[in-house]
Chain A
Amino acid sequence: MKTYKDLPADGGSNIVGQVTQQVNRLQQRLASVRHTVAIMSGKGGVGKSSVTANLASVLGLRGHNVGVIDADINGPSIAKMMGVRGQRIDYGDDGVKPAISPLGVKVMSMDLFLKDDETPVLWESQTQKDAFTWRGTMEMSALREFLSDTEWGSLDYLLIDLPPGTDRLPNLVDLLPNLGGTVVVTIPSGVSQLVVKKSLTMAKKLLNAPVIGIVENMAAYVCADCGKTEELFPSGNTEEMASQFEVSLLGKIPFDPRISIAADEGSVFVDQYRDTPAGQTFFSITDEIRMFFESQI
């Protein structure tokens, strides 16, 4: 009897062939992107999306061609923060045209595909239980499509806003073998930093890319009236964490309600409030990131 090896390799289902084709398409698309940066944290709600949106805007203000991809398929927020929620998207000659922010940043997010703000991301499936089991794979397929089917054109920077946690990191390596680096967002609370440390370890282990640095968000509260600074979360120590992991601390963004308000309005905080402490910090963090890449050449 013939064995597995004796049989011609093509049983006819062509699954691997199609997956290979998907990979090729992705590589072709990303060939015109100079630097891809993933924004991550182990913890939810620490400000990954806000940091991503503002860094992207600063890069845009600095004259770079910038794209942002919302990899938080299940809890998309980038479209709203970048002021592109509700923009209609359509086919171009070579894929789908991204939404464009007021500063010219190209944006692709699940938000843009949903009917309205209240609509959750539900995949068609036999049962909702199936949908739940398959959610991870569906999300990764969606992210692959966002990466490879968007007409990014040539970009200096493509920022990727990751969902909270480390569950998706292994998949990210498959999708982005040439990831330029990661930025890890934390807040200065002890509990949060424990979680962020775990994800730093995971990122170092799993991703084939350096950690560019840590951003401490909601570092302190600067009063808009009198400029007085109050600590918000006294227990953590980001400096210590940075030195323990031998990564740089890119900056400390104070808590500023206007970041939140701007995000809700879809206006650009860093443009409107350039001269506030938070605004300045976004600029200096961005410059650190630019220097990180420029020093590599």
Chain B
Amino acid sequence: MKFLCLECNTAMEFKETTTPDQGSLTAIFECPDCFAEFAMHMNPWETQMLKSLNVQLGGRSEAAQPMEMVQSFLSQKNPNNLTSEAPVGSTEDGGKCPFASAVTEAFQEQEPTGPVWTPEALERLERVPSFVRSMAKASIEEFARENGHPEITTEVMDTARGNFGM
């Protein structure tokens, strides 16, 4: 994505981003000739995409820290890990702005939505002996997906079981 100032016929330049507000990030672009500015509000989806790829709009002033994405976005992490300071990395520049290609790329990586287990079904799954549990779980999920059940209830488990002859 590139922006052109129609008034001056000049390429607009990326100026800054604002902190996300309700999950939406705003990028400000400016015309270097007439200094006209405009704001591009990204929807939460686009904002989340940048986060998932661990890139920052406008580039980084410092290189990414090791395991930065894992450390910063994991909700409940082990507080004892990576407590020392990360050695400071070098800054590298370069790189262009096909925002769109990054979006396309991210689209290709989308997760297919899997069926959701009801608490009752999960509880029953817990009673399956541990060494076959993950196998049973996967088989039932597969069965649910193939038969279009978005939710795995104990009924779905019964049907799946009949199907596998378990």
Contact = CB atoms under 8 A, between A and B. Distances in A.
Contact of B9 (A1, A170, A192): A1
B23 to A, nearest CB: 4
User: Max chain B CB contacts within 10 Å: which of A13, A88, A138?
Assistant: A13
A219 B138 CA distance: 20
A1 B111 CA distance: 40
26 contacts: A7-B2, A9-B96, A12-B29, A12-B58, A16-B95, A16-B96, A16-B101, A17-B96, A18-B55, A43-B135, A44-B135, A113-B70, A114-B77, A119-B76, A123-B73, A124-B72, A130-B23, A130-B45, A130-B48, A133-B48, A134-B49, A136-B109, A141-B52, A145-B68, A171-B109, A191-B164
A243 B73 CA distance: 45
B122 interface: no
B137 A90 contact: no
B153 interface: no
A130 B110 CA distance: 12
Contacts of A260: 130-131
Given A15-B55, A43-B138, A115 B99 contact: no
A96 B53 contact: no
A141 B50 CA distance: 11
A88 B132 CA distance: 31
Nearest to A93: B87
Q: Which A-B residue pairs are the 5 nearest by beta carbons?
A: A17-B95, A12-B14, A44-B138, A11-B97, A45-B135
Given A9-B96, A112-B81, A114-B76, A145 B53 contact: no
Contact of B59 (A8, A17, A124, A167): A17
B155 interface: no
B87 A91 contact: yes
B147 interface: no
Nearest to B116: A132
B29 to A, nearest CB: 8
Interface size class of B (residues with CB under 8 A): 35 or more
Interface string A6-28: 01111111111111111000000
Range class of the A interface residue count:
35 or more
The listed residue with most B CB atoms (<10 A of its CB), out of A112, A171, A257, is A112
A95 to B, nearest CB: 4
Given A7-B4, A123-B74, A91 B58 contact: no
Given A13-B27, A18-B60, A89-B82, A122 B67 contact: no
A88 B79 CA distance: 10
A117 B158 CA distance: 29
A1 B1 CA distance: 16
B99 to A, nearest CB: 6
B111 A15 contact: no
Given A91-B84, A133-B110, 9 more contacts: A1-B4, A11-B96, A11-B99, A90-B83, A95-B66, A114-B74, A125-B73, A134-B51, A138-B69
Given A112-B78, A138-B52, A149 B67 contact: yes
A104 interface: no
B161 interface: no
Interface in A156-189: 164, 167, 170-171, 187
Nearest to A108: B67
A96 B82 contact: yes
Nearest to B103: A15
A9 B102 contact: no
Contact of A20 (B70, B95, B109): B95
Interface string B114-148: 00000000000000001111111111001000000
A81 B101 CA distance: 40
Nearest to A114: B78
B44 interface: yes
Contacts of A137: 49, 52-53, 106, 109-110
